[in-house]
A = this chain, B = another copy of it.
Amino acid sequence: MHTTVGKDSEGEQMDFSEIVKKRYATKKFTGEMIPQDKIDELLDLVRLAPSSFGLQQFKVKVVTDKEMKEKLQAASWNQPQITTCSHLLVFCAYTDVPKRIKQFGELMTAAGVPAENVQGFTDMTSGFVSNLSKEALLAWTSRQAYIALDHAMLGATALGFDSCPMEGFDAAAYSKILELPENTVPVVICPVGIAADEPRPKLRVSKDDLFF
């Protein structure tokens, strides 16, 4: 359990390796709310996550309402993280990529990129997306959401609180409960809060089993 937000238990600034080692999948939170300014910092970090073509093909539903969490818990194998966390982040693949292409084009224009280059980017990415099947589009946008998820997990640790990546939930039920449009598909969730458990040692295969 962390009591000093933004620092490790000795109050020292952590380096990246310490953050990676300290992060763990928290099984239960205290129910304490994370201050809004810290959540804002976390979302700022998530917003800076990279994505394919820079298109940010994801959205994140941020849930704090108690009743809503209880409904979602019932659609999450009743896992205690859902109702004991501070903020529940629901990472969604966002399949309205044409909208993101338009938005990115506007950002490029505002940044002074010549119109010809903006058009080239728009044509190239639009062509790429139009060649994807519905399934491939969802798989591709989902993968980008996982990069943002990792920024969130590491960010939570860096900011002095805890998180838990979870795939064990009923995505269709989440869509219904959260009234999500068809283009916003929940793919992974990440409750964040103050841990009420202790980390267990990380179990990892050897480097030879991972790298070759």
Contacts and interface: CB of A to CB of B under 8 A. Distances in A.
Copies in the complex: 2
Contact of A203 (B107, B135, B210): B107
A60 B205 CA distance: 13
Contact of A60 (B15, B48, B151, B210): B210
A115 interface: no
Given A13-B13, A142-B143, A61 B212 contact: yes
Nearest to A209: B103
Contacts of A45: 16-17, 20
A158 B59 contact: no
A31 to B, nearest CB: 22
A62 interface: yes
A205 B151 contact: no
A165 interface: yes
A168 to B, nearest CB: 9
A54 B15 contact: no
Interface in A47-61: 47-50, 52, 54, 56, 58-61
A45 B18 CA distance: 10
Contacts of A46: 210
Contacts of A165: 50, 147
A167 interface: yes
11 contacts: A16-B19, A16-B159, A46-B210, A58-B210, A59-B211, A60-B212, A61-B212, A104-B203, A146-B147, A146-B150, A150-B154
- What 10 A-B pairs are tightest by C-beta distance, nearest first? A16-B158, A150-B150, A107-B203, A146-B146, A139-B139, A143-B146, A147-B150, A20-B48, A60-B211, A103-B205
